[in-house]
Amino acid sequence: GDSVTQMEGPVTLSEEAFLTINCTYTATGYPSLFWYVQYPGEGLQLLLKATKADDKGSNKGFEATYRKETTSFHLEKGSVQVSDSAVYFCALSANSGYSTLTFGKGTMLLVSP
């Protein structure tokens, strides 16, 4: 079945550091890929998405590129802020059937001033 694997956290960075959170997936066909963010005590917010190979999703300084050859969708940001502290979830949606989301376990990011 479909699955998503994320690097374990927490990831601890100082403000303005470079961020990478690794995500790889296993799926049949050509899924759509997503990054969601969850702030403490809240639900999930869509951060960015990519629907086909080589697409780059971007939002609020975050970027991720859909790499079919390596089945990866790594999240990057050039300069993190304290307000970026949250849990980040990589997810996929198969572009067939009823297309629900399969999530990774999440990676906590802690940014200190």
Binding residues for other proteins, rule: CB under 8 A, are 4, 32, 34, 36, 42-46, 49, 51, 89, 91, 93, 95, 97-106
Report in angstroms how near the CB of residue 15 gets to other proteins at its nearest.
25
Report in angstroms how near the CB of residue 35 gets to other proteins at its nearest.
12
Report in angstroms how near the CB of residue 105 gets to other proteins at its nearest.
5
Query: Does residue 102 contact residue 3 with C-beta atoms inside 8 Å?
Result: yes
**Phi, psi dihedral angles at 39 (to 5 degrees):** -85, 155
Closer residue to other proteins (CB): 98 or 113: 98
Report in angstroms how near the CB of residue 103 gets to other proteins at its nearest.
3
Alpha-carbon gap, residue 31 to 53, rounded angstroms? 9
Q: Is 84 exposed, middle or buried (0-12, 13-18, 19+ CB in 10 A)?
A: buried
Query: Does residue 69 contact residue 25 with C-beta atoms inside 8 Å?
Result: no
DSSP letter for 67, please: B
Closer residue to other proteins (CB): 9 or 17: 9
Of 90, 76, 87, nearest to 110 (Cα)?
A: 87
Closer residue to other proteins (CB): 15 or 42: 42
Closer residue to other proteins (CB): 12 or 95: 95
